[in-house]
Amino acid sequence: CLTHPIFNKYHSEHEMLRYIKRLENKDLSLCHSMISLGSCTMKLNATSEMMPLSLPEFANIHPFVPKDQAQGYLSIIKELENYLAQITGFAACSLQPNSGAQGEYAGLMVIRAYHVAHNQTQRTTAIIPASAHGTNPASAVMAGMDVVVVKTDESGNIDVEDLKLKVEKHKDTLSCLMVTYPSTHGVFEPTIKDICQIIHDNGGLV
């Protein structure tokens, strides 16, 4: 059943070892270069912070371990959620899911629930910058939203004038603006406060 040529090309352990090493050498990490995607925070993680994640006593818990055998983990998670809620002023925080795209989807579903709770079910328009990662519009569509793309300027930041036009056009159905901060190209939008105010003034969330 393994019909791909690669399964018949290497006939010794050493050949296979060298093949795997060649594949590994194609990988790009902080050991080789910067990670350019601005929103990916792994570039900010110090090596000393990552070390505990490799400890078998900490990292190798079974995903289906009984809850009564994971009280230490649950305590750490709950404590961090509480700290984040206090820092941000939110009523609650969730550390799930772990995937960025799933996190986008979870956030969008919370936004939808917010509008439903306020009897504004018509608010289904998500404004997304042209510079956004491809998962953003995909997550919005999965959450049942209509995507409207806002232009970016020559520096890659949100074009505020175009944003105003798009918001005015869709103000009755505006649900949210999805914005990565720092942006996908790695900078903090200098007009982020104005951008948020425009969205909030028209009934949307950010």
pLDDT tens figures, 1-38: 788 898 889 999 999 999 999 999 998 777 787 776 66
Is residue 60 a part of any domain in this protein? no
Is residue 154 a part of any domain in this protein? yes
Is residue 2 a part of any domain in this protein? no
Q: Are 95 and 103 in contact (CB under 8 A)?
A: no
Is residue 141 a part of any domain in this protein? yes
Specify the number of domains making up the chain. Answer: 1
State the Cα angle at 143 between 40 and 38, rounded to 5°: 15
CB atoms within 10 A of CB 153: 13
Q: Read off φ and ψ for residue 60, nearest 5 degrees.
A: -105, 30
CB atoms within 10 A of CB 45: 11
Is residue 157 a part of any domain in this protein? yes
pTM (two decimals): 0.75
Is residue 46 a part of any domain in this protein? no
Is residue 178 a part of any domain in this protein? yes
pLDDT tens figures, 29-76: 777 877 766 666 666 778 888 888 888 877 888 889 999 999 998 999
How many helices (DSSP H) and strands (DSSP E) are in the chain? 9, 3
CATH number at residue 169: 3.40.640.10
Is residue 187 a part of any domain in this protein? yes
Domain extent at residue 104: 100-201
Helix (H, G, I), strand (E, B) or coil at 43: helix
